[in-house]
Chains A and B, each alone.
Chain A
Amino acid sequence: MTAELALATRALTKSYGSRRALDGLDLTVPTGVVYGFLGPNGAGKTTTMRLLTGLLRPDSGTIEMLGRPFSRSDRRRLFDVGALVESPSFYPYLSGRENLRALASAGAKTPRGRVDEVLEIVGLRDRAGDKVSRYSLGMKQRLGIAGALLSDPQLLLLDEPANGLDPAGIVAMRETLRHLAAIGKTVFVSSHLLAEVQQLADVVGIIAAGRLVREGSMKELLAGEGVVRVRVAPEEVAAAATALAGLVPSDHVMASSAEPGWLTVQIAPDRTAEVNRTLANASIYAAGLESGNDLEELFLSLTHDPSAVDPDGTFAGMAGRSTTEIN
């Protein structure tokens, strides 16, 4: 692990009883980026967040945060970290401002006036005097983000921060997080909103069944993960798949069970014409062709088969793995 990393985990494991929530997670989060941490429900995103904030103890593996090893006993490291883990938690009988003041009394000392600053950042200043019990879900979410920003952290850990936010709130949040990354802070965002992460993140890590299945810059990942979707007559799907197997490896062609007649071909989008030509040469005429390289396709292809972990597709895989364990 290097000093340029804001966060890194190596071989991190965590089980709840007999169920393994994390199974050797290797995350590598560079400093000064927005890192999108993606995964389907139950993949281990929230468990990872809890481990990173000292709420849970890992069964094994290491965490390095802001250039130094982190364990639960090293709580002061979290003074430089802001976190929103799961749903935001507040005292319902206190106002938004009072809740932030209560929060500011714990952990790192917060400068006077910071509470109003963060309320301004998240657009809650006008409603800061209202009791939290009267807040909408989106307002609670904003207040949670404000709480995470209180200590002006070097590293921000946000679990599903867009939950409950209206479109304007999402845009404002995106701009705020992008600004934080631009001034050198690191933002680690767990989400299942792929379109949002695609717009927000510089680097993406995809987790499935407790393991990192892909990690890299958004640009790199999407460049290599284009797809072309083809629609043919349902009775021609098998023939089309056979024909396309001559163009790409056969396991790069998948027939959709949900949408009869559709096939997904893993191939760069600029080779769409080749796909069409291959089908035409087999006397199969496509009724529809769609190409793209969106995150959703990559996400679905990776998380449908979590056993297909490519260690070389992650920063840790490229850098080599650490097997140091902590208890």
Chain B
Amino acid sequence: MRLFVSALRKLSRRLATYLTFGLLAGLLALIIVAVAASGGRGQNGNGPANPLAIVTFPGAFDLILSFILGLGGLFAVVYGAAIAGSEWTWGTLKTVVARGESRSRYVVATFAAIAVVAGVGLLVSFGIGVVAAALGATIAKVPLDGIGNADALGRLPEHFLRGWVAIVMEGSIGFAIATLARSQLAGIGAGIAFYFGESFASLFLPDVVKYLPFNLANAAVGSGGGFGGGGGGAAAASTPLSADLALLLVAAWLIGSIVVAAGFTERAEITG
């Protein structure tokens, strides 16, 4: 518990935390307001049927969440890699190990703190998105009647939970990669490459790629790439997995990543 609280405190003081979630929320708000201000003009046929759907409640709730989970996946990979990699790059892991701390416990506690921060970031980003959508709706003169829709609001907790697990899993991928790379920069670079590589591979191997992390994340929240979704919505669209099966596989990737990171750290010879 001491380790977990300390890890949370460290993340709360870290610029990367605010930069990651600030960028995500900022982009979301900017796009929503821009779409609303343009009144939906400039549609090229690839986006939603009605561009103003993102400021039209109650459907806007799902679209905002879909956007956050899509772009947030990439941000989660980068964030997870940044946190894990810096422990090696800065040598702080070395100091902790030399104090007799359990390596695997330290890794798990650090990741648990990332998971909590990701949950908070998800909630805050969603809140900012809803406010921006309401503002956009006002600008675009779209009625706000649906904002209190009980059905839509009732579905939100489950969507949040699924989205949170998916985002945390994506963060764990970056976390594990950076741990294996023992480097912040290498971890971030490899994480981004994995994210886009999976997206690219889904064009050729959709039936395989649908089991890979970012496609599974989309499938688990039922976004299939959705509004701004990343990581290869194409595969999910070709032969989609059920959301529940995808969630199960997301959990497997999550646990697997942490086991790999902890196992590697436990066995690693720390020379830096």
Please list the residues of chain A having a beta carbon within 8 angstroms of any beta carbon in chain B. Answer: 16, 50, 53-57, 75-79, 81, 83, 85-94, 98, 101-103, 105-109, 147, 150-151
The interface residues of chain B lying within 8 Å CB-to-CB of A94 are 10, 13
A57-B269, A81-B98, A102-B10 given; name 19 further pairs at CB < 8 Å. Answer: A50-B270, A53-B98, A54-B97, A77-B100, A78-B100, A79-B99, A81-B100, A85-B94, A85-B98, A87-B91, A89-B92, A89-B95, A90-B90, A91-B14, A103-B95, A105-B6, A106-B3, A106-B6, A107-B99
**How distant is the Cα of A321 from the Cα of B205 in the complex, in angstroms?**
62
**How distant is the Cα of A147 from the Cα of B106 in the complex, in angstroms?**
18
**Interface residue from A16, A78, A105 paired with B98 (Cβ < 8 Å):** A78
Bitwise, B1-38 to A at CB < 8 A (1) or not (0) is 01101100110011100000000000000000000000
Distance between A194 CB and nearest chain B CB, rounded to angstroms? 26
Across the two chains, which residue of chain B brings its CB closest to A46? B271
Interface members, chain B 89-127 (any A CB < 8 Å):
90-92, 94-102, 106
Q: Is the interface of B mostly helix, strand, loop or mixed?
A: helix
Please list the residues of chain B having a beta carbon within 8 angstroms of any beta carbon in chain A. Answer: 2-3, 5-6, 9-10, 13-15, 86, 90-92, 94-102, 106, 269-271
The interface residues of chain B lying within 8 Å CB-to-CB of A109 are 2
7 A-B contact pairs sorted by A residue (CB < 8 Å)? A16-B271, A53-B97, A55-B97, A55-B270, A81-B100, A102-B10, A106-B3
The interface residues of chain A lying within 8 Å CB-to-CB of B13 are 93-94, 98
**Interface residue from B6, B99, B269 paired with A78 (Cβ < 8 Å):** B99
Q: Is the interface of A mostly helix, strand, loop or mixed?
A: loop
Q: Is the CB of A102 within 8 A of B6?
A: yes
**How distant is the Cα of A86 from the Cα of B272 in the complex, in angstroms?**
9
The interface residues of chain A lying within 8 Å CB-to-CB of B95 are 85, 88-90, 103, 147
Distance between B17 CB and nearest chain A CB, rounded to angstroms? 10
Distance between A300 CB and nearest chain B CB, rounded to angstroms? 29
